[in-house]
């Protein structure tokens, strides 16, 4: 049974220290020399009572070995990351958030020592350093999943990372303060496409219009192969048969399944079908959308800084320099300054909602699944799809009938370009690494994060 043993004399406290002994689930003897607050036992009774409580936990099968919780977050991550099953893209994001944000601060801390207050303090510091809410939410999800599995593995008794559903704490934040999504009208999308035509040719022109009139994501468009086009109307309308998206895996552009495994066939309007047929006839090859010289379209930092940003926000004229001729100025599209490629997808959703199409058909087209009873009993029919194609074609014809007098464009920018946009979700910022939340991190190393 549980008992206590005298250990060493504490010269500073001028007291003897004791440790408790108790039977582990495997029948061996375990020992404990500090309580839950990290304070040593200075009486035989306190050590024995604590050890007895641990033996009760063993019999009730809720025992957490204090020694197990000493494992550092870094060591636990090395074990945990091998146990989770994720898509290649999700696994890449998990590893990136762990490596760049979580481990520099928490890697040396013991799993058992992380507290909710310490985590909240750290999350607040991320906001002050300029991290976007979307980025913080992603980090929180990874950290919470990591700690939830630590609880399941009996490394600690609770999860210190909030799930986001708890009651509001602290300062009230109006929902109106949330970042507003920027999306274009059909006319603004056409103006962006025309800028793309001037910058990168027919492929970029068609990519912008395809994104707006289908709602496909930029990665799905970059990974669209020509054999996934069904441009002849076979009684069901011309279609794009979506299966893959292009994403960087281990630094290389790779075809992976469409996001959320949302493989689907999207009906498209006749105008877009004609444009895509013209595009693939002009450049036969594997992919529908290509780089200006026919190579694979890479959606990386250069794409956003050299192509997307000028298409939307315009670009000042550039003089001739060694190895490159003069570049003409590009006019910005008024009203959508700062829009990211995903804004075209938002524009498609708004367009369909304004036309009053059934929600089930709209959500299926967007690659979403309706939840609850509505999702169980609602179904998309061919008639619904044909109605969507007819509606999109009417918008197409209306927009293309407008005079090309430059209305909707702003003046060509002058002077230096603004900061380059690197990513559509997380613009690269000049910021310091996350800092430790100080004394709230019990037993954390005192060195600064590197």
Q: Where are the alpha helices (DSSP H) in 215-269?
A: 218-222
Q: Which residue has the higher pLDDT, 257 or 349?
A: 349
> How large is the average pLDDT for residues 217-223?
93
Confidence of residue 176 (pLDDT cuts 50, 70, 90): low
Q: Which residues pair with 267 in a beta bridge?
A: 239
Report phi then psi at 229, rounded to 5. Answer: -100, 135
CA angle, 441 then 447 then 450, to 5°: 105
What CA–CA distance (Å, rounded) separates 178 from 189?
Answer: 24
Dihedral over Cα of 362, 366, 370, 375: its sign: positive
- Which strand (E) or helix (H) includes residue 282? helix 270-282
What pLDDT shows up at residue 174?
Answer: 57
Give the pLDDT confidence of 79-112 residue by residue, as tens digits: 999 999 887 878 888 999 999 999 999 999 999 8
Confidence of residue 253 (pLDDT cuts 50, 70, 90): confident
What CA–CA distance (Å, rounded) separates 79 from 82?
Answer: 6
Give the pLDDT confidence of 368-415 residue by residue, as tens digits: 988 889 889 999 999 999 999 999 999 999 999 998 878 899 999 986
Look at residues 173, 200, 380 and name the one whose alpha carbon lies nearest to residue 291.
200
73 near 80, Cβ under 8 Å?
no
* Strand 244-249 to 15-23 pairing: unpaired
Domains, the chain, in order of start with CATH, read: 3-63 (no CATH), 70-163 (1.10.150.130), 186-400 (1.10.443.10)
Confidence of residue 246 (pLDDT cuts 50, 70, 90): confident
What mean pLDDT value characterizes the chain? 85
What pLDDT shows up at residue 180?
Answer: 74
pLDDT of 247 strictly over 90: no
CA angle, 214 then 282 then 241, to 5°: 30
pLDDT of 122 strictly over 90: yes
Instruction: Express as a percent the part of the chain with pLDDT over 90.
Output: 54
What CA–CA distance (Å, rounded) separates 339 from 319?
Answer: 27
What pLDDT shows up at residue 388?
Answer: 96
3-state secondary structure of 29: strand
What pLDDT shows up at residue 324?
Answer: 77
Give the pLDDT confidence of 304-350 residue by residue, as tens digits: 988 999 999 999 998 888 777 888 899 999 999 999 999 999 999 99
For residue 118, with 0-12 CB atoms within 10 Å meaning exposed, 13-18 middle and 19 or more buried, which class applies?
buried
What CA–CA distance (Å, rounded) separates 95 from 19?
Answer: 40
What pLDDT shows up at residue 68?
Answer: 67
Instruction: Write the CA distances from 72 to 40, 97, 151, 290, integer angstroms.
Output: 22, 17, 14, 46
């Amino acid at each position: 049974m549980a008992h206590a043993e005298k250990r060493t004399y504490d010269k500073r406290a001028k007291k003897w220290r004791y440790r408790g002994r108790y039977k582990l689930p495997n029948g061996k003897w375990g020992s404990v020399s500090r309580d839950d607050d990290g304070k040593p036992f200075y009486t035989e009774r306190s050590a024995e009572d604590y050890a007895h409580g641990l033996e009760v936990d063993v019999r009730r099968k809720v025992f957490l070995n204090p020694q197990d919780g000493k494992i550092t977050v870094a060591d636990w991550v090395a074990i945990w990351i091998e146990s989770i099953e994720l898509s290649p893209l999700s696994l890449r994001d998990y590893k990136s958030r762990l490596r760049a944000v979580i481990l520099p601060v928490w890697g040396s801390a013991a799993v058992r020592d992380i507290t909710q207050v310490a985590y909240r303090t750290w999350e607040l510091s991320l906001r002050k350093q300029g991290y976007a809410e979307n980025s913080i939410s992603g980090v929180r999800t990874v950290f919470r999943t990591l700690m939830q599995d630590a609880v399941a593995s009996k490394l600690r008794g609770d999860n210190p990372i909030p799930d986001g559903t708890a009651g509001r704490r602290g300062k009230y934040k109006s929902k109106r303060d949330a970042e507003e999504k920027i999306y274009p009208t059909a006319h603004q999308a056409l103006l962006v496409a025309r800028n793309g035509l001037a910058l990168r040719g027919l492929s970029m022109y068609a990519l912008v219009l395809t994104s707006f009139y289908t709602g496909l994501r930029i990665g799905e468009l970059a990974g669209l192969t020509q054999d996934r086009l069904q441009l002849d109307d076979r009684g069901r309308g011309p279609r794009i048969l979506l299966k893959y998206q292009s994403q960087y895996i281990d630094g290389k552009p790779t075809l992976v399944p469409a996001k959320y495994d949302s493989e689907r066939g999207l009906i498209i309007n006749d105008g877009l079908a004609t444009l895509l047929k013209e595009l693939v006839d002009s450049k036969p090859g594997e992919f529908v959308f290509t780089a200006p010289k026919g190579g694979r379209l890479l959606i990386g930092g250069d794409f956003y800084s050299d192509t997307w940003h000028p298409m939307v926000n315009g670009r000042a004229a550039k003089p001739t320099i060694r190895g490159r001729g003069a570049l003409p100025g590009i006019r910005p599209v008024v009203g959508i300054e700062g829009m990211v490629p995903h804004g075209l997808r938002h524009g498609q959703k708004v367009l369909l909602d304004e036309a009053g199409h059934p929600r089930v058909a709209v959500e299926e087209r967007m690659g979403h699944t309706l939840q609850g009873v509505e999702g169980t009993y609602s179904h998309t029919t061919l008639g619904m799809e044909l109605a969507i194609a007819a509606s999109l074609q009417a918008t197409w014809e209306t927009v293309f009938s407008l005079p090309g007098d430059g209305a909707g464009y702003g003046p060509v920018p002058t002077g230096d370009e603004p900061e380059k946009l690197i990513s559509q979700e997380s613009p690269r910022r000049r910021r310091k690494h996350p800092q430790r939340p100080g004394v709230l991190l019990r037993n954390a190393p005192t060195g600064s994060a590197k």
